[in-house]
Structure 1
Amino acid sequence: MQLFYNPSLDNSFKQFFFSAEESKHIIKVLRKKEGDILYITNGQGYLFEAEILVADIRKCKAQIISEDKSIPKRYKLHLVVAPTKMNDRYEWFLEKATEIGVDEITPIICEHSERKTLKLERMQRVLQSAMKQSLQTFLPKLNPPISFKQYLEQQTKGLNFIAHCGEGEKMEFKRRVAADKDVTILIGPEGDFSISEIALALEKGYVPVALGNTRLRTETAAVVACTTVSIINN
């Protein structure tokens, strides 16, 4: 099954048009024709089955013939991850975390961050592509970058963790995660969180954890955290 993405669809639609870009892909590249069946998600849990009515390369028209609403997970995973020095590494993390099952992502700018600007539109496309490739119907929420201190001023629910490589007592992340519980984990840049940032997070109630016995890159640590939460809940 090939999955398409249309964020404007909901269960009130009967007929709709694909964008010019999607229409060209469907008709010219995939060689779909009138009467063929397509599967579309709106990224909010709906899976629509639609039949092509007009196979126009510029404005493909389809009619919804069935719909299904996925049941949301019993938990939410929020990865709060500092940007990596190289954009492609962060995009790799976004792709893999989406495939595994992340619900929300917030880039945080830390004292040791070497990159402080991000191409959010490109990152959003990476998330959409990964969602479609993995045949999921929920698109992760991508928040704008925010400073570490500003983020800690926000209220969070569930289990809150900070993964760092500094000194101090830390428990293994896999032994602190519980099934069916919302999880937020902070992961720092290549230079790790500063001592003052770690202290501030602990003051805010974040629990220090380790993600293994080796030193991990930022993007690897984020994928390990995502995988751990997924395994605990499956």
Structure 2
Amino acid sequence: MHLLDYGKDYNMARLFLSDPKVISGRISIEEPASIHYLRDVLRSRQHDTVIVFDGKGREYICSVETISEKIVLIVREESAAVKREGNVVITCACAIPKNSRMDDIIDKLTQLGVDRIIPLITERTQVKLDKKRRLIKHERWEKIAIAASQQSQRVSLPKIDLVTEFDDFISLTNRFDVKLMPNLVGKTKHLSQLLNSLGKNILVAIGPEGDFSQAEVDTAIKNGFISVSLGDTVLRVETAAVSIVSFLRLVSY
């Protein structure tokens, strides 16, 4: 069976390894978190099939040979995987909401196939993070993205940027085909008006509770952003992020 046929079995166990080393046709797993995931979460047993992916487009179809203090997988097939995340590259910069809601945003955007996520600090962001907490959050979000990638059968991992200030973010936005900023301030376009001009490399900026400030909207528009509407209702940060990315994914297939 070809690797792509395996990809159609949505019950197939998948495991992310950043640098899987194949020695004599086998991959040895000694990292405790990966062992726990296969043995205790997925309940993999001897001879079960596991697909190992490296997050950079390569997959290995394996069979479980042994499960003990380490897990040994026999590699049956290796292939460069077909990208399943869609035909466009989507970057979502999202203001960090209160509580743990950014965790859910990372999870949902990863499942939807977003290629890059930039956690934003804006003028009205209520979350305060010092340097240490920013690093802790970043590590946690990367783990969430890995788990969501395994569950959703992605072949690549989204890049999770470090927490970024709005002004620094604007300086990173020159190379996108189209830049969208959903907001409630001033004149906006409906997304349906942009269907023929989206391009292949799309950036979306999602504001915080209370929306972007007028100054931030003005700065973004001066730097090529298009102000867009997501409808007549006021959406939570996480709802806005999932809504616009879902729309972009749907129209890009």
| TM-score (normalised: structure 2) | 0.83
Gaps of 5+ in 2: 1-11
- Specify which of 96, 102, 108 is matched with residue 120 of structure 2: 108
- Specify which of 143, 154, 176 is matched with residue 136 of structure 1: 154
Deviates more, 1:199-208 or 1:9-18: 9-18
Matches within 5 A, 1:121-200: 121-154=139-172, 155-166=174-185, 168-178=186-196, 181-200=200-219
Local SS of the residue matching 1:128: helix
Q: 1:109 to 1:31 in 2, by over 3 A?
A: closer
Report whether the alignment pairs 1:226 with 2:238. no
Deviation at 1:30, TM superposition (A): 4.8
**Equivalent AA in structure 1 for residue 87 of structure 2:** R
**Equivalent AA in structure 1 for residue 245 of structure 2:** C
1:63-106: per-residue Cα shift (whole Å, max 9, x none)? 2111232333431000011000122x211122111112211100
Report whether the alignment pairs 1:9 with 2:20. yes
- Specify which of 25, 47, 60 is matched with residue 71 of structure 2: 60
Q: 1:217 to 1:12 in 2, by over 3 A?
A: farther
Contact 1:98 1:127 (C-alpha < 8 Å) held by counterparts: yes
Deviates more, 1:78-87 or 1:93-102: 93-102
Identity across the alignment (%): 24
Contact 1:9 1:42 (C-alpha < 8 Å) held by counterparts: yes
1:48 is matched with 60
Q: CA RMSD in A?
A: 2.1
Deviation at 1:25, TM superposition (A): 4.1
Local SS of the residue matching 1:137: coil
Gaps of 5+ in 1: none
Structure 1 segments of 4+ aligned residues over 6 angstroms from their partners: 10-13
Q: 1:12 to 1:177 in 2, by over 3 A?
A: farther
Count the aligned residue pairs.
Answer: 231
Deviation at 1:29, TM superposition (A): 5.6
